[in-house]
Amino acid sequence: DSGDERHKDKSDRATTEQVLDPKTRRILFQMINSGIVSEINGTISTGKEANVYHALSSSEDLDTPDKHVAIKVYKTSILVFKDREKYVTGEFRFRKGFNKSDNRSMVKLWAEKEMRNLKRIHAAGVPSPEPLYLKRHVLAMTFLGDSKGKAAPRLKDVEFTDEDPVSRWRSVYIELLAYMRILLQQCKLVHADLSEYNILWHRDRPYIIDVSQSVEADHPRSLDFLRMDIKNVNDFFKRHGISVLSDKKVFQFITKHAEDAELDVDTLRVEVEKLLAERIDEEEDEVETEVFRKQYIPQTLDEVYDAELDAENLKVTGRNALVYKDLLAPLKGEKPEPTSDSIVTNTSASGQARASGQEVE
């Protein structure tokens, strides 16, 4: 009720004030002075790692419908970012990229990563905000929402009022799987925090946001992250009554090499429809998912393997050390090994048997 609302308002304001340290304020003032935005309004979201503000743009150059802009301000004082280090260290280009003792440069790096990843995703035609401006830990992007400045809902909060909401959700599911494949194969990225919380429903499409932690496809653990993303997506749509593909079939669909021309969302939708139609037995897919998930899947970011160690191993022993090498070959368009249809996540024989769905023992 209103008492709670007032209380919430206060804590919102407190968080706002906390994140707006003098340096941040200076950057925001600069954005106004240089005409990138004309005013900065309230918070759209206050999170653990970032606050997102609504702003109005005055610039004629910015291609922002209705002049609404979202400004994401990464928090510079937060320990959470220490965890995220493992995402960065697995990527060679960032190995010498930052000074661990300097939170600010870490956070700046996250903002840069988000900008770079959004650019790639947006350029590939995957619905996502377009990054507009970056200054240190402050990122401006196109606003997703209505013309009055009301932000688009997260997929989690969407309720379809159609006559047949399930068929609507089913079509969103199919579209999303198509985007996940484009993300991997065209953008060479795995989202790594994909769920109904990081997808906004805007203009009748699922928009992908929050990609600062996304990893390169050649990250030693990218396919573990992909499995985690698939699990989140499948669980969510299953809760909405969709008879989803097994995690394994989704994984195979997303990682199966495609020519550029095939990475078109409508072509991909047809392919998913075909996979759904080809299923003989839904229960079989549920079992397949259960088996697939019994293999190692990190449940949270904290459980992720030691990416630094992986990177070292990779340098010494080369790609063969990677548990996913059989799947990576087709992804890169090389000739697949004879065993390429089995998903090998465990080098032991029982692991392979489990992975290919055979009985163990």
The two structure tokens encoding residue 242: 């969709």
For the residues of 252-293, what is the DSSP string, one character each? HHHHS---GGG--HHHHHHHHHHHHHH-S-HHHHHHHHHHHH
The two structure tokens encoding residue 92: 């060679």
Eight-state DSSP code of residue 90: T
Q: Does 140 bind ligand ADP (CB under 6 A)?
A: no
The binder of 351, among Mg ion, ligand ADP, none, by C-beta within 5 to 8 A per type, is none
* CA distances to 16, 49, 299, 359 from 13, in Å: 5, 16, 33, 57
Q: Does 213 bind Mg ion (CB under 5 A)?
A: no
Q: Which is nearer to ligand ADP, 200 or 344 (CB)?
A: 200
In the complex, what is the shortest distance from the CB of residue 124 to ligand ADP, in angstroms, rounded to a whole number?
Answer: 17
Identity of residue 100: K
Q: Does 210 bind ligand ADP (CB under 6 A)?
A: yes
- For Mg ion, what does the binding mask look like between residues 29 and 68, x meaning CB under 5 A? ----------------------------------------
Beta-sheet strands, E only, within the chain? 39-46, 50-56, 68-74, 131-135, 138-142, 189-190, 199-202, 205-208, 215-216
**Which of 214, 200, 210 is closest to 172 using CA atoms?**
200
The binder of 237, among Mg ion, ligand ADP, none, by C-beta within 5 to 8 A per type, is none
**Which of 217, 219, 227 is closest to 187 using CA atoms?**
217
Binding residues: 72, 142, 144, 198, 210
Question: Which residues lie below 8 Å from residue 126, measured CB to CB, with a gap of 6+?
Answer: 179, 182, 183, 187, 208
Q: Rounded to whole angstroms, how far apart are CA atoms 47 and 176?
A: 25
β-partners of residue 176 are: none
- For ligand ADP, what does the binding mask look like between residues 68 and 97, x meaning CB under 6 A? --x-x-------------------------
Q: Which is nearer to ligand ADP, 210 or 285 (CB)?
A: 210
**Among the options 4, 66, 204, 210, which is catalytic?**
210
Q: Does 214 bind Mg ion (CB under 5 A)?
A: no
**How many beta carbons lie within 10 A of that of residue 174, not counting itself?**
21
Q: Which is nearer to ligand ADP, 210 or 310 (CB)?
A: 210
Task: Compute how many residues bind Mg ion; rule: CB under 5 A.
Answer: 2
In the complex, what is the shortest distance from the CB of residue 193 to Mg ion, in angstroms, rounded to a whole number?
Answer: 7
In the complex, what is the shortest distance from the CB of residue 349 to Mg ion, in angstroms, rounded to a whole number?
Answer: 40
Q: Does 210 bind Mg ion (CB under 5 A)?
A: yes
**Contact (CB, 8 A) for 225 and 192:** yes
Q: Which is nearer to ligand ADP, 122 or 249 (CB)?
A: 122
**Among the options 4, 9, 61, 193, which is catalytic?**
193
Q: Which is nearer to ligand ADP, 90 or 127 (CB)?
A: 127
Question: Which residues lie below 8 Å from residue 41, measured CB to CB, with a gap of 6+?
Answer: 53, 54, 55, 56, 149
In the complex, what is the shortest distance from the CB of residue 197 to Mg ion, in angstroms, rounded to a whole number?
Answer: 5
**Contact (CB, 8 A) for 182 and 125:** yes
Q: Is 193 a catalytic residue?
A: yes
**Contact (CB, 8 A) for 89 and 307:** yes
Angle at 336 between CA 335 and CA 342, to 5 degrees: 175
The binder of 44, among ligand ADP, Mg ion, none, by C-beta within 5 to 8 A per type, is ligand ADP
- For ligand ADP, what does the binding mask look like between residues 11 and 50, x meaning CB under 6 A? ---------------------------------xx-x-xx
Q: Does 198 bind ligand ADP (CB under 6 A)?
A: yes
Binding residues for ATP: 72, 142, 144
| Chain positions contacting Mg ion, by CB under 5 A | 198, 210
| Chain positions contacting ligand ADP, by CB under 6 A | 44-45, 47, 49-50, 52, 70, 72, 129, 141, 143-145, 151-152, 154, 198, 200, 209-210
Residues annotated catalytic, as ranges: 193, 210
